[in-house]
Amino acid sequence: MLDIARKKLIFALDVDCFEEAQRWVRLLHDQVGLFKVGKQLFTRCGPDVVHMIRAEGGEVFLDLKYHDIPNTVAMASAEALRLGVRMCNVHALGGREMMVAAATKVREEAAAAGAPLPLLLAVTILTSSTDETLREIGIERPVSDMVPRLARLARDAGMGGVVASPQEIALIRAACGPEFAIVTPGVRPADASLDDQKRIMTPGAAITAGADFLVIGRPIARASDPVAAAAAIVAEMAAALES
Ligand SMILES: O=C(O)c1cc(=O)[nH]c(=O)n1[C@@H]1O[C@H](COP(=O)(O)O)[C@@H](O)[C@H]1O
């Protein structure tokens, strides 16, 4: 069960240089299933960091959260495919046409190249957002309405899954069924700091609720012993999988 749990843990490589990223990949390689490369690291290091992780034997979630006109997002998603990443994402708030364009382009390019299809994810509502955040931008519906609504839109547009808070897993499962992938950041062990995350759950609770993958960064990166922190999270996930 520990192996299954490890494959579900994604470490957020939120660092600002290539060498530090490489140190984390080597340190956590045996504890986590994927490494997430986000805007900070990709802006600093570009595709080289993705190539490095793959050369080290790791798998990559390219988290650039594309949100633009459909053609731009489709072309950017095709570039993500060419990098050989296992997962990449767009913002569901970019709308159906944008998500259809991305999903169609990636499917066509993967078929033409004989490449494995990456898991295309749509970010629903960021885990740092609340109902008040939505109201401020003119969205009157609560997070609990918006997340399943965006998840259904993403599924109908051909996305393979969503990124959402673990607090919304049950709503997404009810809206989109058991096959749709749910990747959850906003995960905090019971004794960890919340940082800027608002809609959180513990690793065990997120797995019990039905998360397919957990994204965790600072609770591991800032621990005095990051390997032990990752191992403890994996053990908590494995216990939840067993029960
Ligand atoms: O797409 C994401 O990965 C993401 C979506 C979201 O709603 N919330 C969220 O925190 N994330 C990412 O997940 C990671 C969470 O990191 P920690 O808060 O340090 O565990 C960060 O790299 C965020 O960019």
- Report pLDDT digits (tens) over 151-172: 999 999 999 999 999 999 999 9
Query: 2-242 — its CATH code?
Result: 3.20.20.70
User: Where are the chain's structural domains?
Assistant: 2-242
What is the CA 231 to chain-centroid distance, rounded?
A: 20
Residue 110: strand, helix, or coil: helix
Q: The pTM is what?
A: 0.96
Percent of the chain predicted with pLDDT > 90: 98
Q: How far apart are CA 73 and CA 106, in angstroms?
A: 10
Q: How far apart are CA 190 and CA 21, in angstroms?
A: 27
Amino acid 196: pLDDT: 92
The residue whose CA has the least distance to atom 8 of ligand 1 is: 127
Is 104 annotated to bind a ligand? Reply is no
Amino acid 38: pLDDT: 98
- CA 113 / ligand 1 centre spacing (Å): 31
Amino acid 135: pLDDT: 98
Amino acid 90: pLDDT: 98
CB of 123 sitting under 6 A from ligand 1? yes
Amino acid 26: pLDDT: 98
Amino acid 10: pLDDT: 98
Amino acid 209: pLDDT: 97
Average pLDDT over residues 73-97: 98
Phi/psi at 143 (nearest 5 deg)? -55, -40
Beta carbons of 105 and 77 less than 8 angstroms apart: yes
Amino acid 103: pLDDT: 98
Amino acid 91: pLDDT: 98
